[in-house]
Chains A and B, each alone.
Chain A
């Protein structure tokens, strides 16, 4: 993936133009939130950086990694990902900030007791 967001992206494009000046997202995207390209996503017609993200996230990677690999600031990537999720291009695996659910804890307990 050396091409990444690649050669076609002009460095003279200011990041805020990609987000149309927005800095906030609808969902809180942590750096470790996993991003995955939605199955059947068709990014043709989407901006280049979004297409690059779609190519990048065929296997799920974290928001931080997306930012690093397409060389865009984290804040910009967050806004883009939020947009893309809204457009059905990517799926964001937002971890629950709540405690783990009972079913998971039961499995942990079961596993610990079988150690």
Chain B
């Protein structure tokens, strides 16, 4: 019965399905056939959080409309070496009014840029959170930032 309440919360991870793997108890499963990653996290607050990771390339967009339905928000993972690859994802979420935050990859020796410069380069709307993010470690933090942002927008 608890499944009836709108418990499904989704975070769409773009550009690098990585990261969600490292979340603590994840008795989830992975679907690989369509290059989509899926994790389920049981939260201590008696909720089940669903995370969907999908690549940002245009050829995967056919899935996105379903993924954003009822979702809390999205995390766009950006690589400073090719920021332009995020623009389409950002446009997509903005057009649908879905709150999103941007995590800038800080792994693999990617050059650290000043976040303000990154924000400017991305023309990120003011108020949209931007954080450095090692997708292998700080996924939960990014999700907290995202939920806070979504709540701020909703209230």
Please give the residue numbers on chain A whose beta carbons come within 8 Å of chain B beta carbons, in ascending order: 34, 36, 60, 93, 95-97, 99-102, 104-115
Contact = CB atoms under 8 A, between A and B. Distances in A.
B125 interface: no
Contacts of B71: 99-100
B1 interface: yes
Nearest to A105: B151
Contact of A97 (B23, B43, B69, B154): B69
Interface residues of B, number: 31
Interface of B is mostly: loop
A112 B148 CA distance: 11
Contact of B9 (A100, A110, A115): A100
A105 B6 contact: no
A34 B44 contact: no
A111 B50 CA distance: 13
Contacts of A100: 6, 9, 70-72, 150
Interface of B: 1, 3-4, 6-7, 9, 23-24, 41, 43-47, 49, 69-72, 97-99, 140, 143-144, 147-148, 150-151, 154-155
A1 B67 CA distance: 32
A110 B144 CA distance: 9
A105 B154 contact: yes
B45 A114 contact: yes
Contact of B147 (A60, A97, A109, A115): A109
Nearest to B144: A112
A111 B154 CA distance: 19
A109 B11 CA distance: 13
Of all A-B residue pairs in the complex, the 10 with the closest CB atoms, nearest first, are A111-B43, A111-B45, A114-B44, A109-B147, A107-B45, A93-B4, A105-B151, A110-B45, A112-B144, A111-B44
A99 B71 CA distance: 7
22 contacts: A34-B4, A60-B1, A95-B70, A96-B6, A101-B154, A104-B9, A107-B45, A107-B47, A108-B45, A108-B47, A108-B49, A108-B147, A109-B144, A109-B147, A111-B43, A111-B44, A112-B43, A112-B147, A115-B23, A115-B41, A115-B44, A115-B140
